[in-house]
Amino acid sequence: MHKPYLILPLLAILITTGCGSIGLGGGSADDGGGASATNLTGTRGGPKVSDSEITASIKEAFKQDPELAATNLNVSANNGVVSLSGNVPNAQTYNRAISLARSVAGVRPPVKASELRFPQ
């Protein structure tokens, strides 16, 4: 008599997890322009930007910023993940560099700043 109460939560979990993959693959060619996994990746993640474009954009943003223009920071990107290294004069500039790097199109979290130093 109490068994249906145990089955209902299990069914709810199965339905919820199963619904997350509906429409992401296995669709027919005549599905009327439905979303595919490729289309969702493009719209959710934004346009694909190369690592060299990301690096150049961050360096340009640093040149435009009065606090960061005087610093000599190294910027590298690997599959959209940015690494910053070098010396900055203070914690405010440290945070500003990370914030500007995050704001560039194509940058994937996290921005790695373990090699970015400032005096304490």
Q: What is the pLDDT of residues 34-68, one digit of tens each?
A: 443 333 333 345 678 999 999 999 999 999 999 99
Minimal CA–CA distance to 98: which of 80, 75, 70? Answer: 75
CA distance 15 to 17: 6
Of 118 and 111, more confident: 111
Q: What are the sequence ranges of the domains in the chain?
A: 51-117
Average pLDDT over residues 9-28: 54
Query: Which pLDDT belongs to residue 17?
Result: 61
Q: What is the pTM of this model?
A: 0.61
Query: Which pLDDT belongs to residue 43?
Result: 34
51-117 CATH choice from 3.30.70, 3.30.1340, 1.20.59, 3.30.43: 3.30.1340
In this predicted structure, the answer to whether residue 113 has a pLDDT above a threshold of 70 is: yes
Buried b (16+ CB within 10 A) or exposed e, 34-67: eeeeeeeeeeeeeeebeeeebbebbbebbeebee
In this predicted structure, the answer to whether residue 119 has a pLDDT above a threshold of 90 is: no
Query: Which pLDDT belongs to residue 115?
Result: 93
How remote is the C-alpha of 81 from its chain's centroid? 8
